[in-house]
Chains A and B, each alone.
Chain A
Amino acid sequence: MIKYILKRLWHSGILAIVMSLIVFFGLYVVGDPVEMLSDDEFTEQDKIDLAIELGLDKPLFEQYFTYAGGMLQGDFGISFVHNRPVLDLILERLPATIEISLLAMIIGLAIGIPLGIFSGIKNNSRASKIISFFTTVGYSTPNFWQAIILIMVFAVFLQWLPASGRGLTNSMFGIEWAWLSLNGLQHMALPAINLAIYKICMQQRLAKSGTQEILYQEYMTFARAKGITKSRIIRRHLLRNILIPIVTITGLEIGGLIAFSTVTETIFSWPGIGKLLLDSIHMIDRPVVVAYLILITMMFVFINFVVDVMYAFLDPRIRHQK
């Protein structure tokens, strides 16, 4: 097992280095930060001085090593636009992204799984068909279009919920959270629902196909033959078994939620890291874009590593693979 973990760790390390190289060199060709920062009064000499000050005159490889060295010490450079350390900017906005992603995940699981089990058990009922139709519509509707509809209905016509911003935040463990106040929760509602709709649909489909596969397993027939009550079969035999794939996929989906939060945050002006990324792409704020992408990459490498190790832990066949 330890050997397997070390091997995966080695793979993850290489993956992380390759991805940071791709991001760093890829983004090197985007825009010229010197042109961005200088105004009309800059002379050619000023521009050269600025380039030297930013370290842009050095060879590309040296810049990468300087950057990677700084990164390992938690220094991701200074944002061109905000003129502040990039890491501070990202950490400041991270809680906002985490809170709506988690809320969306909870809503998605709480609604999607029961719906899926129901439509799996009553596969041929009218209700199940209607549910499945709605989830097909739900996952066919692009995220941003759902957001627009939500804003139109709940913010413009009904005026129940605010359509942008994070509202009041309260401090907890030294971090500002919106979910601690009613106003903050109201602001969270639409973006979280927007992220959750897709989750609900996916969970419903997963739970449905999982339920159908398990329903016809022999142990289910046996349980029925034993005369166990229906609710006990569902709780003890069905739920436990469909939870395995759902838990793994949910783990992997945390990354997907953070990726999709770029779209949702932008539309609802939710001040999280996704909005920061898009704003930075538009303003060619290179240090922020590079840092965001590298950090997200590291996060994915880490999630994949954990999932691989968990699989190996659960399934001995993988461990002993050559």
Chain B
Amino acid sequence: MIDYKKKLATLRLQTKSIFSGHPIAIAGLIGFIIFVLIALLAPWIAPQNPYDLMVLDIMDGLLPPLSKLGNGTTSWLGTDAVGRDILSAVMYGLRLSLFVAFVATTVGFLIGVFLGLLAAVKGGWVESVIMRAVDLKVSFPGILLALMMLAIFGTGVDKIIYALIIGVWASKARLTRSSALSEMQKEYIDAARISAIPNWRIMLKFLLPNSIAPVLVMVPMSLSGCIGAEATLSFLGVGVPITEPSLGLLIANGNDYLLSGKWWISLFPGLVLVSLVLCINVVADRIREHNNPFLKSMNMQ
């Protein structure tokens, strides 16, 4: 049996040893939490609902930051061509970008971990089929695969999530498999097999908790990768639809106005996008560094 209380305590200790003494990583973590809170609370804290065409006034269009709107409120970050408040649009865009990335990462990991465990436990042709598919996937750059998928299925929030999942699962399946295979060498798995415990139970009860750690290290990297990929695809016009702008699409909208000096439409969504990805990446770097035994031993020297 797994002692969850003990696990939780170890986790707390680990978190402490990852972050203490690393101010940049702490700043990244805090920044990320703030972005998530803004995304979650967007409908309540945004000055207006940027999707509601009723509240938009075309007379407010293309106002620079700190302008007064027709209804008397101040638009801190300016407005776009249809009079949408950029601050509100960024909050909602952040919400969509994070939602897409969270769903894609979670589902991608679930699929990857499941297939990796299955390959390790079953072996034989199941393993070769899964690992061949992994080879197939990892030999192509993610952005091209996503473009291919979106060319095939068309665009939309659901489609882009599928495309991102396709990008996520493979490397996790490979890592889970190798991690699970080394776990299977241990005697307790032999004992479990002799006791005729079914494969699925071995997978879930023994292999999963004991081989998941190195895979979980990849979560933040995947998350920031998905955010960047979604933004890129939306920017290219093959991502989310225009009615629900994500950060990438907001930047694309403003891109047409950049040359005429209306910089605020693209700049603010872009800054938020870069800060979000940066926050996640510094945390990811720190976690990876923490989990790299080689670097650890070197720092002690």
Contacts and interface: CB of A to CB of B under 8 A. Distances in A.
A244 B282 CA distance: 27
Given A27-B152, A140-B281, A152 B258 contact: yes
A136 B281 contact: yes
B235 interface: yes
A106 to B, nearest CB: 20
Nearest to B144: A259
A27 B153 CA distance: 9
B33 interface: no
A169 interface: no
Given A18-B136, A144-B232, A148-B255, A281 B141 contact: no
Contacts of A300: 139-140
A300 B151 CA distance: 19
A262 B273 contact: no
Interface string A1-34: 0000000000000010011000100110110000
A218 B158 CA distance: 53
Interface residues on B, range: 35 or more
> Max chain A CB contacts within 10 Å: which of B224, B232, B237, B266?
B232
Interface residues of A, number: 44
Contacts of B139: 15, 300-301, 304
Given A26-B152, A29-B152, A30-B151, A216 B277 contact: no
Given A148-B266, A212-B298, A260-B143, A289 B151 contact: yes
Contacts of B258: 148, 151-152, 156
Interface string B141-168: 1011001101110100000000000000
Contacts of B144: 259, 262, 293, 296
A317 interface: no
B259 interface: yes
A30 B150 CA distance: 10
Contact of A148 (B152, B232, B237, B270): B270
Interface in A142-185: 142-145, 148-149, 151-152, 156
A212 B295 contact: yes
A241 to B, nearest CB: 15
Interface in B228-263: 228, 231-232, 235-238, 248, 251, 255, 258-259, 263
Contact of B231 (A137, A142, A278, A297): A142
A161 B295 CA distance: 43
B37 interface: no
A255 B143 CA distance: 11
Interface in A258-275: 259-260, 262-263, 266
A141 B274 contact: yes
B136 A15 contact: yes
A133 B152 CA distance: 39
B278 interface: yes
A143 B233 CA distance: 11
B294 interface: yes
A282 interface: yes
A277 interface: yes
Contacts of B185: none
A156 B277 CA distance: 26
A90 to B, nearest CB: 15
B127 interface: no
A62 interface: no
Nearest to A216: B298
Contacts of B73: none
B301 interface: yes
Contacts of A18: 136
Contact of A23 (B148, B277, B298): B148
> Max chain B CB contacts within 10 Å: which of A18, A142, A262?
A142
Contacts of A143: 232
Contacts of B143: 259-260, 262-263
B285 interface: yes
A213 B294 contact: yes
Contacts of A256: 141
A136 B285 contact: yes
Given A259-B144, A277-B147, 9 more contacts: A30-B154, A136-B282, A140-B274, A142-B228, A144-B251, A145-B251, A213-B294, A263-B232, A304-B139
16 contacts: A15-B136, A29-B152, A30-B151, A137-B274, A139-B281, A140-B228, A140-B277, A140-B281, A141-B278, A142-B231, A142-B274, A144-B232, A145-B251, A145-B273, A259-B144, A301-B139
Counting from the closest, the 7 A-B pairs by CB-CB distance are: A259-B141, A26-B152, A140-B278, A259-B144, A140-B277, A140-B281, A142-B228
Interface of B: 24, 136, 139-141, 143-144, 147-148, 150-152, 154, 224, 228, 231-232, 235-238, 248, 251, 255, 258-259, 263, 266, 270, 273-274, 277-278, 281-282, 285, 294-295, 298, 301
